[in-house]
């Protein structure tokens, strides 16, 4: 596995020299300053690539080219936004960057209700469906929101909301409506509720059709550009705000891969996202989809209750990280024997805890320096141990 690190560009308080000291060799980044629906230029890509290579690192993965709500909701901007996406793919191909991670989650990206949940191992990200419902129903007051929750969750949410301070209510709204990590954008309440109307009650089949039409356009371009795509699973892997999420289960992943039987149409296998559902068997999924896994996010979660989880340490939580890494290493060996040029799969340590000793206190939530360094070191140790046992 290639050991990579997510870096948010020149504004990231974690420097490329610190990344190099952590032991990573590849960088996972994007041109976050360019809004979705705008094509990346050759010059902008070259500038970022040169900055990375000047530190002795390589730009291994683009995460992400934003897939706009116009694409997902199939609005009037669909054609323009898809063309910009395709132009960006072609430019990345010309620059020799061969892997692009993206997601197809409506409106919001990964969503949490707490960004600094205290654990013995540091401050962690956490999702609690009761807090989320309290925000959705009683703070945002989304029309029809109370119909989307079980009565037990709705009752608990009402009680939770009643006990919240005004500061916690404001914090919860801010956390849930935050934009993509690394971006300068977040929704306000009015803009968010207005954007929901674009989806017009879209169901899972309509969203799958939208994703299929998007793939019809971009997969041939990716093939021509020499780029492998990897769709990130839903995080959390269940519907939010009454909108479907369609990359949550093994069945979802299989259907997506079947839609375009191409090496360019693959998965970003995020252990934490798929592992947030108890009905996903991750080792079996790697066995089934291994040839189409193009990128790995290695993190772990502990499920506290249905739709309630927190980010665990990388070798803790509910997913057997040792077995997962062993399955990935077996897939890499299989590819190597086949002579595949992509037999080394890039991975990155995802969502580290914020530790008391971390000198960087203003990193994006989940993207601490020492917490990810610790995770990468632990994962590196497992890789070496698995390889030694197979030798």
Q: What is the average pLDDT score of the chain? A: 96
Residue 365 lies in a domain: yes
39 part of a folded domain? yes
| Closest CA relative to residue 112, chosen from 314, 313, 348, 308 | 308
Q: How confident is the model at residue 201 (pLDDT cuts 50, 70, 90)?
A: confident
**DSSP bridge partners of 308:** 128, 305
Which domain covers residue 157, as residue numbers? 123-194
Share of the chain above pLDDT 90, in %: 93
End-of-domain residue from the set 137, 172, 194: 194
Active-site annotation holder among 350, 353, 358, 369: 350
- Checking if the pLDDT of 181 tops 70, the result is no
Does position 79 have pLDDT exceeding 70, yes or no? yes
Residue ending a domain, choose from 179, 194, 209: 194
Region 339-356: what's the mean pLDDT? 97
pLDDT of 271 reads 98
pLDDT for residue 321 is more than 80:
yes
Among 114, 135, 199, 270, the active-site one is 270
Instruction: Provide the pLDDT for residue 317.
Output: 96
pLDDT in tens, 270-300: 999 999 999 999 999 999 999 999 999 999 9
**Same domain? 179 vs 208:** no
Q: What's the confidence (pLDDT) of residue 185?
A: 60
Give the active site residue among 32, 260, 314, 351: 351
Same domain, 85 and 185: no
**Cβ contact 236:273 at 8 Å:** yes
Residue 118 located in a structural domain: no
Active site residue 369: no
Question: Alpha carbon of 210 to those of 69, 82, 267: distances in Å?
Answer: 11, 12, 18
Q: Are residues 181 and 206 in the same domain?
A: no
- pLDDT 10s digits, 115-147: 999 999 999 999 999 999 999 999 999 999 999
Q: pLDDT digits over 223-272, tens only?
A: 999 999 999 999 999 999 999 999 999 999 999 999 999 999 999 999 99
Catalytic position from the list 32, 260, 297, 314: 297
Task: Say if residue 41 is in the same domain as residue 157.
Answer: no
In a domain, 241, yes or no: yes
Domain of 280, CATH number, reads: 3.20.20.150
Residue 337 appears among annotated catalytic residues = no
Question: Residue 147 — φ and ψ, nearest 5°?
Answer: -80, -10
Which of 194, 211, 227 is where one domain is finished? 194
In this structure, the answer to whether residues 106 and 154 fall within a common structural domain is: no
Q: Which of 6, 235, 231, 196 is nearest to 112 (CA)?
A: 235
Average of per-residue pLDDT across 204-214: 97
Residues 89 and 72 both lie in one domain: yes
Q: How confident is the model at residue 178 (pLDDT cuts 50, 70, 90)?
A: confident
Write down the pLDDT at residue 180.
58
Active site residue 232: yes
What is the average pLDDT across 98-121? 95
Check whether residue 164 and residue 252 sit in a common domain.
no
Question: Which of 32, 232, 260, 353 is labelled catalytic?
Answer: 232
Percent of the chain at pLDDT > 70 equals 98
In terms of Cβ atoms closer than 10 Å to its own Cβ (0-12, 13-18, 19+), residue 328 is buried
Instruction: Compute the distance between CA of residue 306 and CA of residue 269 in angstroms, rounded to an integer.
Output: 22
Active site residue 310: no
**Is-catalytic flag, 32?**
no
For residues 190 and 236, state if they share a domain. Answer: no
Q: How confident is the model at residue 15 (pLDDT cuts 50, 70, 90)?
A: very high
Number of domains making up the chain:
2
205 shares its domain with 188: no
Q: Give 252-264 pLDDT, tens digit per residue.
A: 999 999 999 999 9
Q: Is 297 a catalytic site residue?
A: yes
pLDDT score, position 151: 97
Statement: residue 183 has pLDDT above 60: no
Mean pLDDT of 316-323: 98
Residues 353, 213 within the same domain: yes
Q: Is residue 296 part of a domain?
A: yes
Mean pLDDT along residues 353-358: 97
Does any domain span residue 248? yes
Instruction: Decide if pLDDT at 384 tops 90.
Output: yes
Residue 266 lies in a domain: yes
In this predicted structure, what is the pLDDT of residue 188?
86
Q: Three-state secondary structure along the chain? A: CEEEEECCCCCCCCCHHHHHHHCCCEEEECCCCCCCCCCCCHHHHHHHHHHHHCCCCEEEEEECCCCCHHHHHCCCCHHHHHHHHHHHHHHHHHCCCCEEEECCCCCCCCCCCEEEEEECCEEEEEEEHHHHHHHHHHHCCCCCHHHHCCHHHHHHHHHHHHCCCHHHHHHHHHHHCECCCCCCCECCHHHHHHHHHHHCCCCHHHHHHHHHHHHHHHHHHHHHHCCEEEECCCCCCCCECCECCCCCCHHHHHHHHHHCCCCCEEEEEEHHHHCCCCCCCHHHHHHHHHHHEEEEEECEEEEEECCEEEEECCCCCCCCHHHHHHHHHHHHHHHHHHCCCCCCCEEEECCECECCCCCCCCCCCCECHHHHHHHHHHHHHHHHHHHHHHC
Residue 117 lies in a domain: no
Q: Are residues 79 and 134 in the same domain?
A: no
Residue 182: pLDDT band by 50, 70, 90 thresholds?
low
Same domain, 223 and 161: no
Residue 200: its pLDDT value, please? 86
């Amino acid at each position: 596995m290639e050991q990579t690190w997510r870096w948010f560009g020149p504004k990231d308080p974690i420097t490329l020299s610190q990344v190099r000291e952590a032991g990573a060799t590849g960088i996972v980044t994007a041109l976050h300053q360019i809004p979705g629906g705008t094509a990346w230029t050759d010059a902008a890509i070259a500038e970022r690539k040169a900055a990375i290579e000047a530190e002795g690192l390589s730009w291994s993965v683009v995460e992400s080219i934003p897939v706009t709500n116009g694409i997902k909701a199939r609005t009037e901007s669909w054609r323009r936004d898809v063309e910009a996406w395709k132009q960006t793919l072609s430019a990345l191909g010309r620059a020799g960057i061969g892997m692009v991670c993206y997601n197809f989650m409506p409106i919001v990206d990964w969503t949490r209700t707490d960004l600094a949940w205290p654990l013995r191992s540091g401050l962690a990200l956490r999702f609690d469906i009761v807090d989320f419902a309290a925000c959705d129903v009683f703070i945002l007051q989304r029309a029809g929101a109370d119909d989307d929750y079980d009565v037990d969750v709705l009752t608990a949410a009402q009680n939770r909301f009643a006990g919240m301070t005004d500061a916690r209510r404001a914090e919860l709204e801010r956390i849930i409506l935050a934009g993509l990590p690394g971006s300068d954008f977040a929704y306000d309440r009015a803009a968010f509720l207005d954007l929901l109307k674009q989806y017009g009650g879209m169901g899972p089949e309509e969203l799958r059709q939208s994703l299929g039409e998007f793939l019809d356009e971009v997969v041939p371009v990716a093939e021509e550009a020499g780029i492998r795509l990897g769709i990130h699973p839903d995080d959390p892997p269940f519907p939010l705000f009454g909108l479907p999420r369609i990359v949550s289960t093994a069945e979802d992943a299989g259907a997506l891969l079947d839609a375009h039987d191409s090496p360019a149409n693959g998965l970003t296998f995020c252990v934490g996202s798929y592992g947030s559902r108890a009905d996903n068997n991750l080792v079996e999924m790697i066995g089934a989809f291994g040839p189409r896994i193009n990128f790995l996010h290695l993190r772990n979660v502990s499920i506290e209750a249905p739709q309630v989880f927190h980010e665990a340490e990388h070798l803790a939580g509910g997913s057997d990280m040792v077995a997962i890494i062993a399955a990935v290493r077996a897939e890499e060996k299989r590819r190597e024997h086949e002579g595949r040029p992509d037999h080394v799969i890039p991975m990155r340590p995802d969502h580290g805890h914020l530790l008391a000793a971390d000198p960087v206190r203003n990193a994006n939530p989940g993207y601490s320096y020492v917490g990810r360094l610790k995770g990468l070191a632990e994962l590196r140790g497992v890789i070496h141990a698995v390889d030694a046992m197979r030798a």
